[in-house]
């Protein structure tokens, strides 16, 4: 069996040439449209990525500001420092060294309160006053002193106590 010689007919040649040219033009059109669509998607993706990066920077700035503000608030509401001082009413009879030792003893006795919430300390200030006033403080010279709290101030991070002392016999 023999294949008919269709390549010699002009109608078939035009048809196959049209199919080949149509295929090439269609493929070029497909590549061109696909490239344009891909370029649009890449541009949208870059735009969205830049928006995401900007929003992440803004979020980081806002969260770092919030973290810093929270840390500052936490520092304000925690006790950081205890200062004991003598009030001027009855401190004339004691020597400066005795005053220094007594203030250091009072501060050391209250040292466990550092880092506690100021609200907790404010609620238990009566207990704090009674604990200091009922405890006799003994110094190196075997003399005992009774400390009376005249004033107690509690504000952001600092507990300031004004005391007066007398010798217990």
Residues making up the chain, counted from first to last: 169
pLDDT over 90 (residue 46): yes
pLDDT over 80 (residue 158): yes
Residue bearing tokens 């001027």: 88
Does this model's pTM top 0.75? My answer is no
How far is 152 from 119, CA to CA, in rounded Å?
14
- Round the average pLDDT of the chain to a whole number and report it: 86
Q: Categorize the per-residue pLDDT at 92 as very low, low, confident or very high, splitting at 50, 70 and 90.
A: low
How far is 111 from 123, CA to CA, in rounded Å?
18
Share of the chain above pLDDT 70, in %: 91
């Amino acid at each position: 069996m023999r294949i008919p010689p269709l390549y010699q007919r002009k109608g078939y040649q035009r048809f196959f040439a049209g199919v080949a040219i149509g295929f090439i033009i269609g493929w070029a059109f497909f590549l061109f449209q696909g490239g344009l669509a891909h370029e649009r998607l890449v541009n949208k993706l870059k735009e969205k990525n830049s928006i995401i990066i900007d929003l992440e920077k803004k979020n980081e700035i806002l969260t770092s500001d919030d973290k810093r503000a929270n840390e500052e608030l936490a520092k304000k509401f925690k006790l950081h420092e205890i200062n004991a001082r003598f009030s001027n009413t009855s401190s004339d009879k004691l020597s400066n060294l005795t005053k220094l030792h007594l203030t250091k003893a009072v501060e050391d006795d209250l040292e466990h309160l550092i880092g506690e919430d100021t609200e907790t300390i404010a609620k238990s200030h009566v207990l704090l006053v009674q604990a200091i006033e009922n405890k006799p403080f003994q110094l190196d010279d075997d003399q005992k002193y009774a400390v009376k709290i005249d004033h107690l101030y509690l504000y952001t991070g600092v507990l300031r106590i004004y005391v007066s002392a007398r010798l217990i016999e």
